[in-house]
Structure 1
């Protein structure tokens, strides 16, 4: 007769000897941008100019971001930049999107997703001279909206999603929702500001394509400039 007694034949030291690090899953909203470029030695990617460059020099630069759910406490966007005509994109990222029904990458923009960072096959050396393996994005699931993405994240953690109270009329209309979106967007604005050296125009350009930010605030507004200034003050 079968019992529920633990299997004492398993040796924990054997298990420790063969353990591997499980890839962490991230849940959030996808943002993708692309532009034509040319790869120049010593410069990297430069904008493709048909008046200066031949057609066979043209490559497609991809910038893909995942803006994590606030519940994950990741206070910055996860980003990768790559060339579309590379193994990283054509062999890993794009097939993972196509497996989820995405035929054109435009369809992925703004989607809520589950993603893991997986080895890209590329090696690099860090500031200490240590060889490291670069990672890239592999998408595992898409969700119809933020609530479904949040529910999947909570289920992954073995938790029940929080039940939202029934909506009640608010004299300020959607101001409460706008304020909530702004609180979510603030850490991302600060992260982009830091990446841009707290330059306002650079931060505007970086944030302009991030829906989680543009849904919350106008990047041309004085309020946005104030948030960048506050990020600078906080970063000192």
Structure 2
């Protein structure tokens, strides 16, 4: 006869901690700049001196950070900016210069970046309203470090995360299926539904992660076995966002 173990939700609630979103990313940077023109209703289009006047010319800066494989993230961190803006000139560029490098050195480099709240010159958070009518704060990038190669970048990540490559890139035995843990299997089924709901119609990985952190924290059965960084969650998000 199998003995069932019942967990009091209040025990979990009493020990619960506020979920923390890891807004620091280690990875390889892809960066480029190009002349553009801002056209109403379209956005950025390539600057053509034969068509556009010189006073329309702006400088576009596109930055993509491809996360280390060790981090288990399936999607890149991307920011598309205008150099003649406070976001670039007042926040991103100074953080790059603080590392003693030029923006020209970013492309192909291994870096450590942090997503921070985008503010105006007065320090007020810049917000936007999502499709659900919820007002949210915009974010941008702050460069924290640059590394000589992937190995050094990975070493810094592992040293700061307390993880090992094996832990991040493959399931451990406790996460394998068919282990007889019925309670965990039930939690996994509910988790799948939450991930599907969080990803539905959403393209921002950061928004999805924030939604899931709140949902998981509110469900003791799920939070007992999973976090937003669990391999299963990362895999589910990747699958849903690829649809």
TM-score by length of 1: 0.58
Unaligned runs of 5+ in 1: 1-15, 163-194, 196-233
1:201-233 Cα deviation digits (max 9, x unpaired): xxxxxxxxxxxxxxxxxxxxxxxxxxxxxxxxx
Q: Work out the number of aligned pairs and report it.
A: 150
SS of corresponding position for 1:50: coil
The higher-RCO structure (CA 8 Å, 6+ apart) is 2
Specify the alignment match of 1:37 in structure 2.
Answer: 36
8 Å CA contact 1:23–1:117 kept in 2: the answer is: no
2:69 pairs with 1:70: yes
Give distance in 2, aligned partners of 1:97 and 1:235. Answer: 32
1:159-198 mapped onto 2 (5 Å cutoff): 159=163
- TM-score if structure 2 supplies the norm length? 0.56
- Deviation, 1:51, is 1.3
Distance in structure 1 (CA, Å) of the matches to 2:42 and 2:21: 36
Deviation at 1:158, TM superposition (A): 2.5
Residues 1:125 and 2:129 are matched in the alignment: yes
Distance change (3 Å), C-alpha of 1:76 and 1:22? closer
Give me the whole-angstrom Cα distance separating, in 2, the residues matched to 1:48 and 1:65: 22
The CA distance in 1 between the partners of 2:112 and 2:138, in whole Å, is: 20
Is 1:110 aligned with 2:114? Answer: no
Matching residue of 2:89: 90
Change (3 A) 1:81 1:111: same
**Where do 5+ consecutive residues of structure 2 fail to align?**
1-16, 120-125, 167-202, 204-240
**Cα deviation per residue 1:173-214 (whole Å; 9 max; x = unaligned)?**
xxxxxxxxxxxxxxxxxxxxxx9xxxxxxxxxxxxxxxxxxx
Deviation (angstroms), 1:157: 1.4
Shift of 1:25: 1.1
Q: Against the structure 1 CA distance between its residues 21 and 91, is the aligned structure 2 distance closer, same or farther, given a 3 Å change threshold? A: farther
